[in-house]
Structure 1
C-alpha cells in the first residue's frame, strides 16, 4: 500500500493531525486529482476549534480543504471529457440527495497529496493561471462574487458597504469595483485591513468603533444610505450597525457565518423603508466559470491575495497563523 500525507480532523475530539493515508482510487464518475495547491480558510479554523460542525459527514474524521486546484491524475469508470494532466480547480461542494455537501467538511477535501472529486465538479483553468491563485477561487473569491452578483444583485453606481475586509471581504471590494458599485465603503477594526481595502478599490475605509460611522456613510452616499450592505464578519453588532446604514429598499446580505441571533432594533423603520435581509452561502458552478473566464481575459488577478505558500506538512502552523491573524493574511495556501 502506498501512503500519502493528508491533514485530517477528528470532529468528535477536534483533534487535527497530519496522517499517512492510502492513495485514493476513483470510483464510477470520479476523478483523482494530484493536488497542487489548497487554500486555508477561516472555516477550516472554525471546524478545528468547534465553532462549525459538519452536518452530513458520515463518520468522525475528514480531510480538510475546500479550496483546491491540481491536475487530473486518474479517471474512474464512466468518466469522459477529461484526460490526465488537465489543469483544474474543484468546486467547493456538490449536491447529493437534495442537500449541498461541502468538500473538506462533509467529505474529504484537498489538504492532501491526492483528492477525489466527482467529474462534474471539475472546472478547467488556463495554463497561465498559477495553481496557488486558482485554488482560492472556490470560496475566497466565488463566495463574494455570488454574494455581489446574485444574492446582493448589485448594480453599477449603487452605494455599498463591506463589513469585514478579511479573506472574503477583500475580494468583495475588488469585485464590487469590477461591477461598478460606487461608492464602496469598507468597515474593519484593523488599520491594516482598512488600508488593504483602499488598495483593493474601496472609496473610503472606516473603523466600526467610530461613533459617527452612520453619519459618515450617509455623507459619503449623498444622504441616500447604502443600497446593499455585506456582512463578511458574522458578528451580531456588525449586522445591527449595517442595518442602520441602509437606505430605503436597502438590503443586508449575510455572508459571515454565526449562530448568534439576528436582531432588528427598530422593526417599524425597517418595514417602513421596505428593507431586506438576505442569507448567502457559497457559490455555484456558473460563478466559478465566470471568474475563470475573467482571469483568462485578465480582468482579474489574485497574486496579492496569496499572502504566503506553505508546505502541507506545516498545515497546523498555517491554521495557527490564520487564527492569530499573524501578518494580516488574505489567504495562506498549502502545497503538497
Structure 2
C-alpha cells in the first residue's frame, strides 16, 4: 500500500498532526490529484480551536485544506475528459444529495501530498496562473465574489462597506472595485489592514473605534449612507455598527462565521428603513471558472495575496501565524 504525508485534525481533541496515511485510491468518477499548493484559511484556525465543528464528518479525524490546486495524478474508473498531468483547481466543496459538504471539513482535503476529488469538482487551471495563486481562488476569492455578485447583487456606483480586511475582506475590496462599486469603505481596527485595503482599491479606510465613523461614511457617500455592508469578521459589534450606517433598504451580508447569536439593537429603525440581513456561505459552482477567466485575462491579479509559502510539515506554524496575525498575512500557502 502506498502512503503519503497529510496534516490531520483529530476533532475530539482538536489536535493537528502531520503523519503518514494511506494514499487514497480513486473510485468511479473520481481522480487523485497531486497537490502543488493548499491555502491556509481562518476557517481552518477555527476548526482547530473548536469554534467550528464539521456537520457531516463520518470519522474522528480529517485532512484539512479546502483551497487546493495541483495536477491530475491518477484516474478512477469511468472518468473521461481528464488526463494525467493536467493542471486543476478543486472546488472547495460539493453537494451530495441535499447536503452541502466542504472539502477539508466534512471530508478529507488538500493539506496532503495527494487529494481525492470528484470529477464534478475539477476546474481546469490555465498555464498562466501559478499554483499558489490558483489555490486560494476557491474560498478566499470565490466566497467574497459570491457574496458580492449573487447574495448582495452589488451594482456599479453603489456605496459599500467592508468590515474585516483579512484574507476574504481584502479580496472583497479588490472585487468590489472590479464590479464598479463606489465608494468602497473599508473598516478594520488594525492599521496594517487599513493600509492593505487602500492598496487593494478601497476609497476610504476607517478605524471602527473612530467616534466620527458615521459622519465620515455620510460624507463619503454624499449623505446617502451605505447601500450594502459586508461583515467578514463575524463579530456582533461589527454587525451593529454596519447596520447603523446603512441607508434605506440597505443590505447587511454576513460572510464571517460565528456561533454567537444575531441581534438587532433597534428593531423599529430596522423595520422603518426596510433593512435586510442576508446570510452567505461559499459560492456557486461557476464562481471559480469565472475568476480563473478574469485572472487569465488580466482583469484580476492575486500575486499580492500570497504572503508566504511553507512546507506541509510547518502546517501548525502556518495556523499559528494566521491566528496571531504575525506578519499581517493575507494568505499562507502549504506546499507538500
Q: What range is the shorter-chain TM-score in?
A: over 0.9
Secondary structure (helix, strand or coil) at the match of 1:285 reads coil
Q: How big is the alpha-carbon RMSD for the aligned residues of Structure 1 and Structure 2?
A: 0.6
Specify every segment of 5 or more residues in structure 1 that has no aligned partner in the other structure, as ranges. none
What is the TM-score with the length of structure 1 in the denominator? 0.99
Displacement of 1:261 after TM fit? 1.2
* In structure 1, distance between residues paired with 2:308 and 2:15: 25
Q: Which runs of 5+ in 2 are unaligned?
A: none
| Aligned-partner Cα distance in 1 for 2:174–2:95 | 29
Q: Distance in 2 between matches of 1:118 and 1:257?
A: 26
The Cα of 1:266 is off from its aligned counterpart by 1.3
Deviation at 1:97, TM superposition (A): 1.9
Separation in structure 2 between the aligned mates of residue 253 and residue 2 of structure 1, nearest angstrom:
45
**Alpha-carbon displacement from aligned partner over 1:165-192 (angstroms, at most 9, x marks no partner):** 0000000000000000000000000000
Per the TM alignment, residue 72 of structure 1 is displaced from its structure 2 partner at its CA by 0.5
Residue in structure 2 matched with residue 112 of structure 1 by the alignment = 112
Report what 2:142 is aligned to.
142
The CA deviation at 1:2 is 2.3
How do residues 216-295 of structure 1 correspond to structure 2 at under 5 angstroms?
216-295=216-295
Q: Secondary structure at the match of 2:27?
A: coil
What is the match of residue 32 of structure 1? 32
What corresponds to 1:332 in structure 2?
332
Alignment of 1:310-325 (within 5 A): 310-325=310-325
For the pair 1:43 / 2:57, whether they are aligned, the reply is no
Residues 185-239 of structure 1 show CA distances to partners (whole Å, capped at 9, x for unaligned) of 0000000000000000000000000111111111110110100000000000000
Alpha-carbon distance in structure 1 between the residues aligned to 2:223 and 2:262 = 26
Which has the higher mean CA deviation after the structures are superposed, 20-29 or 198-207?
20-29
Cα distance in 1 for partners of 2:251, 2:151 equals: 10
TM normalised by structure 2 equals 0.99
Distance 1:14 1:166 in 2: 24
Please give the secondary structure, in 2, of the residue aligned with 1:224.
Answer: coil
Cα distance in 1, alignment partners of residues 23 and 10 from structure 2: 20
What's the counterpart of residue 197 of structure 1?
A: 197
**Distance in 2, Cα, partners of 1:73 & 1:89:** 13
Shift of 1:109: 0.0
Q: State the alpha-carbon separation in 2 of the partners of residues 210 and 296 from structure 1.
A: 40
Any idea what SS the aligned residue of 2:286 has? helix
Structure 1: 4+ residue segments shifted above 3 A: none
- CA distance in 2 between counterparts of 1:100 and 1:310 reads 30
For the residues of structure 2 that align with 1:194 and 1:179, how far apart are their CA atoms? 21
